[in-house]
Chains A and B, each alone.
Chain A
């Protein structure tokens, strides 16, 4: 109880509240503009938050992370273009509703379902905290190494159809973090005699290149386009009443969001899909799905908004990020000398509770903002795409250059920008590179620190949690092999779709 109050006290500062307000509303706007997305915004703002207090910087980025999906629903519903990658399924039923002149109903339902999912996720996080505080200290070097290894495997396997490319890019990420002076033996690794490589390849420089600059290049070389969303009429609060008729779907979808959000590499996308499938299977009118079914919209939005809170669980408790955005958040923690992991729950529990309350507050701020300003947002998203590209390029400079005032960083970032553009054009995933860098670094450090206690390889799995993690790794691999075998026997014809084109936004 005392910790809860301390957490509340952390938020009760004008600068924290301002950061939360800017982050939440900024996140909605960023999410609503197709082509920007939270990854770009967080990447750009990361270095700017370094000079701020940890709680101020973190709440601002958390605001963007948690609120972007609310905004992303607007273009998904009104113009059939998801604002963020995780709103892809929202457009399946949202856009047909707009075509049936029910755009207003679809938007208000999406907001209500998002709010339901968001709050549900945070409540689960708060309820799970005592358990986490109990379990987290049981995670030593070996456990965290195996959990990171599981994360790497899941990230690769989650990119079905492009597993080979995802594997290659994950390995590339692991390799990138090895470049530079080895911290233990002080020997050079892949520096090719260049002094600028001795300090290694900075994660933020790579993130800015792969997410922000690549998106700028992507928009600049493509044809100019200006999304044209029509304003909607009516009160936005009506969706809350309709949502109450579909409480079951919203709760199951949110639960799936929480469970899958905790697993690295899967996240919003799988949660949305499974919720959607559940909603369709249990619906009285399954044929309406894809043609404007409110349950489909609710399932998709409740699931994806429950994920951010759940994704904070492995991040805060073990220091393991599950996807690109939490990987970026991890670097903010490090910069402020707050090391996520078991000790966070022992030493900085007030900060953890402060973040929980920030998550609740951002959901409230966003829903209130959206109830009154949806039509304003439909005007903002009309920014021409090439102009947006110019602005992202200018903003990326702030992010890269303010790190160390290094022109070399800008060149490295530009090179990763070109790589990111190629990956986006080829519909290949970017996230494995980032997670490879972060999880690879964790694996190297943890394996080294576990070494003195290991006499044989079997010692690696002689503790209960390590053994469970090992069994899970084997199960995941076995299940994947089984699916491949089944697919091979079934000779499923390939069907193309462009859902993943939005995956990298």
Chain B
């Protein structure tokens, strides 16, 4: 147990590069929300303070802003950690995949769950750098298994694709119901 000495040290978390950027954004965000308190919540005359619709947003946002201020102070007064902008670039990279996810979700009601999932899996596997037939095959197989498991067996609530309407009579109903 040489690496861990006390319960306190085990519970400590340590700052990583980019901490101060996050601290600033968090403070600005919480302060902005707090300034909107009177516009975005109502106060009903005659009611008790704690029963007011404004009470909990006020408590939470005041607390959030106070904690954010002290968090920023803590970051600003600590030793500077190099590499904050490299770290921020990492965060921005994730926005691309968030975009992939939203495009995928937007396509499903039109192209149908099965085709969209297979195409999306293959494209994403290629995007992240795999080129081997084995990985592409694994992506196709896994996406089919996921569709069959959730849509066919568990009958999860997902829309049938509009593109399925163009299929011949026999297959159309099966695709609309199960895939």
Contacts and interface: CB of A to CB of B under 8 A. Distances in A.
Contact of B146 (A187, A224, A398, A414): A398
A419 B51 CA distance: 31
A273 B7 contact: yes
B44 A185 contact: yes
Contacts of A184: 51, 53
A385 to B, nearest CB: 10
Interface stretch (A235-243, A326-334, A444-452): A444-452
Interface stretch (A70-78, A101-109, A170-178): A170-178
A168 interface: yes
Contact of B74 (A164, A398, A407, A422): A164
A195 B74 CA distance: 38
Given A280-B1, A426-B22, A440-B56, A216 B10 contact: no
A51 B143 contact: no
A354 to B, nearest CB: 22
Contact of A190 (B33, B129, B135): B33
Interface stretch (A115-123, A342-350, A492-500): A492-500
Nearest to A420: B94
Nearest to B155: A51
Interface in A121-171: 158-162, 164-165, 167-168, 171
A276 B3 CA distance: 13
Given A47-B156, A398-B150, A415-B98, A499 B1 contact: no
B106 A178 contact: no
A401 B108 contact: yes
Nearest to A189: B41
Interface in A368-410: 384, 386-387, 389-391, 393-398, 400-403, 405, 407, 410
Contact of A174 (B1, B36, B59, B138): B59
Given A171-B60, A220-B128, A187 B41 contact: yes
B94 A418 contact: yes
Nearest to B158: A402
Contacts of B12: 160-162, 494
A302 interface: no
Contacts of B50: 447-448, 451
B125 A217 contact: no
A225 interface: no
B101 interface: yes
Given A48-B156, A401-B105, A497-B4, A394 B146 contact: yes
A387 B139 contact: yes
A221 B97 contact: yes
B95 to A, nearest CB: 6
B142 A391 contact: yes
A418 B41 contact: no
Give the size range of B's interface with the partner: 35 or more
A426 B106 CA distance: 31
Contacts of B135: 384, 387
B146 A290 contact: no
B63 A425 contact: no
Contact of B13 (A159, A221, A393, A403): A159
B148 interface: no
A189 B146 CA distance: 38
Contacts of B18: 422, 425-426
A410 B155 CA distance: 20
Given A217-B98, A391-B142, A401-B108, A175 B157 contact: no
Interface in A305-348: none
* B contact face: mostly helix, strand, loop, or mixed: helix
Given A162-B13, A393-B101, A451-B50, A290 B60 contact: no
Instruction: Give the interface centre of A171, A417, A428, A444 by most chain B CB atoms within 10 Å.
Output: A171
Interface in B77-131: 87, 90-91, 93-95, 97-102, 104-106, 108-109, 117, 120-121, 124-125, 128-130
A264 B150 CA distance: 33
Interface in B17-74: 18-19, 22, 26, 30, 33, 36, 40-42, 44, 48, 50-51, 53-54, 56-57, 59-61, 63-64, 67-68, 70-71, 74
A48 B86 CA distance: 38
A435 interface: no
Given A164-B74, A274-B7, A390 B121 contact: yes
Nearest to B154: A48
Interface in A436-457: 436, 440, 443-444, 447-448, 451
A300 to B, nearest CB: 11
Nearest to A413: B101
A330 to B, nearest CB: 19
B68 to A, nearest CB: 5
Contacts of B95: 418
B72 to A, nearest CB: 9
Contacts of B36: 190, 192
Interface in B130-173: 130, 135, 138-139, 142-143, 146, 150, 154-159
Interface centre among A384, A403, A410 (most CB of B within 10 A): A410
A171 B42 CA distance: 20
Contacts of B129: 224, 386
B164 to A, nearest CB: 16
A224 B128 contact: yes
Given A398-B146, A415-B98, A451-B50, A390 B60 contact: no
A187 B87 contact: no
A402 B108 CA distance: 12
A427 interface: yes
Given A394-B146, A440-B60, A429 B13 contact: yes
17 contacts: A47-B157, A48-B156, A51-B156, A171-B61, A172-B30, A174-B59, A175-B64, A189-B42, A289-B1, A397-B105, A397-B117, A398-B156, A402-B150, A425-B90, A426-B19, A440-B60, A443-B56
